[in-house]
Amino acid sequence: MPIGEFDLIAKFFTRSVTRAALGVGDDCALFAAAPGMQLAVSSDMLVEGRHFLPTVLPQRLGHKALAVNLSDLAACGAKPMAFTLALALPRVDEVFLGGFARGLLALADVHGCELVGGDTTQGPLNICITVFGEVPAGEALLRSGARVGDDLYVSGTLGDARLALEVFRGTVALDGAGFDAVRVAMEQPQPRVALGLALRGVASSAIDVSDGLLGDLAHVLRRSGVGAQVQVDALPRSDVLRALPEALQRVCTLAGGDDYELVFTAPPQHAAAVAAAARAAQVRVTRIGGIGAAPGLVLVDHNGHPVADTFGSFDHFKT
Ligand code: ADP
Ligand code: MG
């Protein structure tokens, strides 16, 4: 006999809470942001076949479902507090649920983010998490803050998740070690929470890269009413990606998606503070260009020559 809905919730998703006043088990969870703090709230849904492959290990899926949400808090400079989990499951598979919960809750513990509630229903596998974070009132990093003359930076490396997807699609072949490395980037992204916190008061704008650098940067430029120049050869990438043809490197770094790195701007006088934030968060940060007054995005190579932008960004209703 498979266990029922309430046994499932009790077995896999009920934990004691310390930060919240009330967690799983009642009609609502109860918690408050500290005085002077604003709540930062974000939801992200993962759909099988759309956001993940059926072959992904349950533990990695649990990790990723929360990671993509924590990445949104990171992009706002918010500290994770709590999350809810809405799950549609085709059937009760305790092996799947055990792995999923393990990956999910391990990442939650790393970031002190408590599971306080959710919803569970039968249906095609679908995972929707809402995260709650806190940020000092008025200090959230926004997409609208980029200013002419700012430097443009990105954390970590770009493109490995897209490279892994291309291997799954059969368009690229990698050796075992290379594939394992990029597969981890795709299936277990590390949200840049510490960097986001360290960039409060330092960065002028920020966004996390989920749909590809070009597409996500375009949101910042539009909201800020500015343009940008990006040096495509300066984009940080792994050794695995660097060993592949240049055209593929460009697609993966510029239009890859699923990177969950932070792209942010800061005035030049904050360059030392940006470097200090990167050190404090133990994350590599690379300057990839700058913000200008002319609207739009200009791509240049290492000789300063323009590179044609033929790279789309991901849009669920256009692809
Ligand atoms: P209600 O019917 O009042 O909406 P439910 O019966 O759906 O509540 O859920 C009972 C309790 O279990 C609630 O506290 C809810 O937040 C929690 N819950 C349901 N599903 C999950 C889940 N997947 N993860 C965590 N908590 C859950
Ligand atoms: Mg109820």
Ligand nearest to the CA of 29: 1
CA 27 to each of CA 7, 116, 126, 205, 259: distance values in angstroms, whole numbers, following the listed order: 17, 11, 22, 37, 36
State in Å, rounded, how far the first CA of the chain is from the last one. Answer: 41
Q: What is the mean pLDDT of the chain?
A: 95
Nearest atom in ligand 1 to the alpha carbon of residue 87 is 23
115 lines ligand 1 (CB under 6 A): yes
Whether the per-residue pLDDT at 316 is higher than 90: the answer is no
**pLDDT tops 60 at residue 143:** yes
Q: Given CA atoms 247, 248, 249, 251 in this order, what sign does their dihedral have?
A: positive
Q: Which atom of ligand 1 is nearest to the CA of 23?
A: 14
Q: Is the CB of 120 under 6 A from ligand 1?
A: yes
Q: Is the pLDDT at 148 greater than 90, yes or no? A: yes
CA separation for the pair 60, 216 (Å, rounded): 25
Helix count (H) and strand count (E) of the chain? 10, 10
Is the pLDDT at 311 greater than 90? The verdict is no
- Give 57-76 pLDDT, tens digit per residue: 999 999 999 999 999 999 99
Instruction: Please give the distance, rounded to the nearest whole angstrom, from the Cα atom of residue 130 to the centre of ligand 1.
Output: 14
Which pLDDT value is given to residue 314?
A: 61
Contact between residue 154 and residue 213 where contact means Cβ atoms under 8 Å apart:
yes
Q: Which ligand is nearest to the CA of 115?
A: 1
Ligand closest to Cα of 6 equals 1
Percent of the chain with pLDDT over 90: 90
State the distance from the centre of ligand 1 to the C-alpha of 119, rounded, in angstroms.
Answer: 5
- What is the pLDDT, as a whole number, of residue 308? 83
Q: Listing from the earlier edge strand, what are the strands of the sheet with 79-89? A: 37-47, 126-136, 79-89, 114-122
Ligand 1, atom 4, lies closest to the CA of 27
**Distances 7 to 10, 13, 94 between C-alpha atoms, Å:** 5, 10, 11
Nearest alpha-carbon partner for 205 in 220, 190, 185: 220
> What tens digit of pLDDT does each residue of 214-267 get?
999 999 999 999 999 999 999 999 999 999 999 999 999 999 989 999 999 999
Say if ligand 1 is within 6 A of residue 87 CB: yes
Contact, 11 vs 59, CB < 8 A?
no
What would the pLDDT profile of 79-120 be if each residue is shown by its tens digit?
A: 999 999 999 999 999 999 999 999 999 999 999 999 999 999
pLDDT of the residue at 87: 97
pTM of the model: 0.95
In 3D space, the residue among 226, 229, 263, 220 whose CA is nearest the CA of residue 148 turns out to be: 226
276 phi-psi bin (left φ>0, alpha ψ -120 to 50, beta other) = alpha
| Structure tokens belonging to residue 218 | 């375009």
| 117 ligand 1 Cβ < 6 A | yes
In this structure, the residue with its CA closest to atom 18 of ligand 1 is 118
Instruction: Indicate the SS3 state at residue 105.
Output: helix
9 lines ligand 1 (CB under 6 A): yes
The residue ranking higher by pLDDT, 3 or 160, is: 160
Locus of tokens 């949101």: 219
Distance from Cα 87 to the centre of ligand 1, integer Å:
10
CB–CB of 278/285 below 8 Å? Answer: yes
Confidence of residue 202 (pLDDT cuts 50, 70, 90): very high
Per-residue pLDDT at 312: 62
* Residue to probe by mutation, ligand 1, list 11, 120, 129, most atoms within 8 Å of CB: 120
Enter the tokens of residue 224.
Answer: 């800020």
CA of 78 to the centre of ligand 1 (A): 25
User: In the structure, what pLDDT confidence band is assigned to residue 315 with cuts at 50, 70 and 90?
Assistant: low
- Ligand 1 atom nearest 24 alpha carbon: 14
Contact (CB, 8 A) for 73 and 42: yes
